[in-house]
Structure 1
């Protein structure tokens, strides 16, 4: 369960179904500047791992 501090609110920009579940592209604005692949991010209460960085967002 995520117990960190909420720093920003993002928007879902896309979703791609995959055999192993799916990949959501989340727009996070300036917060994306400090992200690295492998970071844990809370998305709607679920802890997800950053696998791709794209401009001002992540997947």
Structure 2
């Protein structure tokens, strides 16, 4: 369960599944506000589950 501070609520705009052996899934999220200080490794929650 994500217990951080929620700064923005968005919606999943697209889901792409890679064909690579690493089985990577890429989510594209549409949101009004994208925090300018967001960095790789920051905590991102989807439906209450942290995806970091």
Output the TM-score relative to the length of structure 2: 0.67
RMSD: 1.8
The answer to which structure has the higher helix fraction is 1
Whichever of the two has the greater Rg, that structure is 2
Structure 1 stretches lacking a partner, 5+ long: 50-59
The answer to which structure has the higher strand fraction is 1
Q: How many residues align?
A: 49
Structure 1 residue runs of 4 or more that deviate by more than 4 Å after TM superposition: none
Output the TM-score relative to the length of structure 1: 0.62
